């Protein structure tokens, strides 16, 4: 067994941009502390070896004041510290310092050698548009809900939604494998209903089961879903880990679009001086982890994301990122038919509009409500 090579630096850096709140005079020391905390996690003065000091410990690239009590700090981590693994990338970017107040990860930039190790989304915007034969218009999405309906009832609902022209029909993210709605039965019935509706309308329509589940069950569910005819998958990386999603995206046997749901991710963004910025989390990390579309609660719905925060997400879904494709923003969380013009003005037409409960407010003719959604979205 030969010993590993020494940590000689290639010179390539993972650059992370942080906002640090607090007095400007303390920023240089705090920035240096981050360099140590996120790498050697060891008293720096006790490290004499030059290869570790240069090849492992992070370095402060720049410090810029933003406004009183807020500074932007860029730190470069030697790429070898990250290796090639997504959990370790998240660890180096924000693992231990997530436990410190007043530090927010604003974004990051990977050297090409590292970025090229990530496939990212298998479909992205272009791939989803190709599957749907919809090169430029907004994509119409909805969910089957409420929880408590049986698989048969959800299938009936999906039939109407597909006949009404929905492009994407996802499981509500709370549908897992409860006794009143078993995963296998739900997916089989709904996929069959959507296939039948497709043969009636002659239009593509993707059904996306929610495969979020136990670590030892998620892969089976994803395969069962695809085998049953699912056109995509919904995963909540906050519940199962971003790398579980990455694994599905990398799995050539699945090869369907993946929609990322934000459940449990809110604590990362909810406090403006801590956590991870919206664009970094929902855009950059989701893309690296293979999401093709990113569901998030848009401004003006039941949640509290601001226009600026939503703009940050939308921009990060399409910002250049090596060879990693742009992905769809999916503003959601209490969107209504009335707001479609406003959503289109804000997000543009390269968007998936997700309207759930509000489709049911238009009375019993769900097919007609869907058509109304389509007219408003595509006029």
Minimum distance from residue 228 beta carbon to its own copies (Å): 12
Residue with smaller CB distance to its own copies, 59 or 137:
59
Q: CA-CA distance, 320 to 224, in Å (whole number)?
A: 34
Q: Which residues contact 349 (CB under 8 A, 6 or more apart)?
A: 136, 137, 138
Q: Which one, of 132, 195, 128, lies nearest residue 158 by Cα?
A: 195
Q: Which two tokens stand for residue 5?
A: 């090579």
Nearer to its own copies, 257 or 356 (CB): 356
Nearer CB in complex with its own copies: 162/228 = 228
Q: Is 109 helix (H, G, I), strand (E, B) or coil?
A: strand
**Count of CB atoms within 10 A of residue 326's CB?**
20
C-alpha to C-alpha distance for 79 and 87, rounded to whole angstroms: 14
**Those residues with Cβ within 8 angstroms of residue 175's Cβ, 6 or more apart along the chain or in another chain:** 144, 145, 147, 154, 181, 186, 210
Structure tokens at 367: 């097919």
C-beta closer to its own copies: residue 128 or 324? 324
Strands (E), the chain: 13-21, 59-67, 70-78, 103-109, 139-144, 168-171, 206-208, 233-235, 258-260, 275-276, 293-297, 328-332, 352-354
> Toward its own copies, which CB reaches closer, 134 or 195?
195
Say how far apart CA 237 and CA 166 lie, in whole Å: 25
Closest distance to its own copies from the beta carbon of 234 (Å): 12
Q: Which is nearer to its own copies, 39 or 317 (CB)?
A: 39
**For residues 43 and 320, which CB has a smaller minimum distance to its own copies in the complex?**
43
Report in angstroms how near the CB of residue 213 gets to its own copies at its nearest.
Answer: 6
Contact (Cβ atoms closer than 8 angstroms) between residue 212 and residue 236: yes
- Strand ranges (DSSP E) for 192-343? 206-208, 233-235, 258-260, 275-276, 293-297, 328-332
| CB of residue 365 to its own copies, shortest distance in Å | 14
Q: Which is closer to its own copies, CB of 7 or CB of 374?
A: 7
Name the strands in the sheet holding 258-260, side by side, starting at the edge strand that comes first in the sequence.
233-235, 258-260, 293-297, 328-332
- How far apart are CB 360 and its own copies at their closest, in Å? 5
């Amino acid at each position: 067994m030969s010993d590993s090579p020494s940590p000689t630096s290639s010179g390539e850096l993972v650059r992370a941009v942080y906002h640090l709140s607090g007095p400007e005079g303390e920023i240089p020391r705090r920035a240096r502390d981050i360099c140590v905390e996120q790498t050697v996690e060891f008293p720096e003065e006790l490290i004499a070896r030059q290869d570790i000091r240069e090849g492992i410990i992070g370095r402060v690239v720049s410090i810029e004041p933003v406004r009183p009590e807020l500074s932007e700090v860029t730190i470069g981590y030697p790429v070898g510290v990250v290796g090639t693994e997504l959990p370790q990338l998240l660890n180096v970017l924000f693992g231990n310092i997530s436990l410190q107040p007043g530090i927010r990860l604003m974004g990051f930039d990977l050297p090409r050698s590292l970025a090229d190790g990530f496939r990212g989304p298998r479909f992205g915007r272009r791939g989803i548009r190709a599957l749907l034969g919809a090169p430029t218009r907004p994509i119409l999405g909805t969910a089957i809900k409420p929880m408590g309906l049986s698989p048969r009832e959800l299938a009936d609902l999906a039939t109407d939604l597909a006949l009404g022209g929905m492009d994407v029909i996802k499981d509500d993210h709370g549908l897992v494998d409860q006794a009143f709605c078993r995963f296998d039965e739900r997916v089989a019935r709904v996929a069959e209903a959507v296939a039948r509706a497709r043969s009636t309308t002659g239009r593509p329509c993707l059904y996306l089961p929610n495969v979020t589940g136990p670590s030892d069950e998620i892969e089976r569910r994803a395969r069962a879903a695809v085998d049953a005819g699912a056109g995509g998958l919904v995963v909540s990386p906050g519940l199962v880990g971003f790398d579980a999603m990455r694994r599905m995206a990398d799995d050539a046997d699945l090869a369907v679009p993946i929609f990322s749901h934000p459940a449990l991710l809110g604590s990362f963004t909810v406090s403006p001086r801590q956590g991870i910025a919206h664009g970094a989390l929902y855009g950059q990390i989701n893309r690296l982890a293979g999401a093709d579309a990113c569901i998030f609660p848009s401004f003006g719905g039941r949640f509290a994301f601001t226009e600026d925060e939503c703009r940050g997400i939308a921009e990060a879904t399409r910002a250049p990122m090596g060879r990693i494709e742009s992905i769809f923003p999916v503003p959601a969380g209490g969107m209504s038919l009335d707001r479609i013009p406003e959503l289109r003005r804000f997000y543009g037409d390269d968007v998936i509009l997700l309207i759930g409960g509000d489709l049911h407010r238009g009375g019993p003719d769900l097919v007609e409500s869907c058509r109304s959604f389509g007219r408003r979205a595509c006029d």
